[in-house]
Amino acid sequence: MQLSELKIIVTGGARGMGAHFATRLHEAGAKVVAADLDTEGLAALPSGIHTRVCNVAVESECESLVAWAHEQMGGLNGLINNAGILRDGLLVKKDRTTGQITKLSREQWDAVIGVNLTGATFVVRDAVAKMVATDQRPGVIVNMSSIARHGNRGQSNYAAAKAALAANTVTWAREFAAYGIRVGGIAPGMIETPMTQGMNQKARDALVANIPVGRIGLPEDIWLAVKFVLECDYLNGETIDVDGG
């Protein structure tokens, strides 16, 4: 599909990669709704991008986002399913000096699953329901997974959610093909955004030192992959790792 034909929602569109995608889409002539919890970030987006405060972890807010976006853009044929959070922690940790055992909290687990899996799933469900009800084809969905989908120390919650999104990229591609809707996934490595800027500097430097191309990824690197999924009408059901090697 051509970018200029898109009427597309970007969740988590107020900052980081989501803001970059929303801006690039807007520059390419797409109609864009950026949805996020962060009102300040939404207000700082280029004018012309529609903005909507929305918590994707709340089921009713997904449905009202989709209805609103459809109205604002005069249709809906795309979704970048990008909102996500981290609440890292080892599942079980033994303190080296005291021997004390700490466990990943239910709160950490539920928060990440609630946004990155349940929220991400219900946004897709409601967006696709609207596209099907209005016979808006072709349509395209891009899921933001992560290379953590392959497993990553300290990220049981995040890895589980991102692996599930990659698995359901296949499930949904098969389910929605009959409606003319494609689904693709992007699994970024470490990308320079507020999410990674909040990391411990030593841990961050060590991770960057291990990236074969020798630098952290930029939102533009991931945009090129997202653009490919949006434009390539033969890409379906695949999640692409974009991680510098």
By CB under 6 A, name the binding residues for ligand NAI. 11-12, 14-18, 36-38, 41, 54-57, 82-85, 115, 119, 144, 146, 188, 190-191, 193-196
| Cβ closest to ligand NAI, residue 41 vs residue 139 | 41
| Cβ closest to ligand NAI, residue 35 vs residue 140 | 35
Active site annotation includes 234? no
| Cβ closest to ligand NAI, residue 146 vs residue 239 | 146
DSSP 46: P
Identify the active-site residue in 122, 158, 172, 176: 158
| Cβ closest to ligand NAI, residue 30 vs residue 83 | 83
How far, in Å, CA of 100 to CA of 163, rounded? 31
Helix (H) or strand (E) holding 194: helix 194-197
CA distance to 106, 130, 169, 173, per residue, from 122 (Å): 21, 12, 14, 16
What is the distance in angstroms between the CA of the first residue and the CA of the last residue of the chain? Answer: 28
How far, in Å, CA of 194 to CA of 128, rounded? 30
How far, in Å, CA of 175 to CA of 169, rounded? 10
CB of 216 to ligand NAI, least distance (A): 8
Catalytic positions, written as ranges:
158
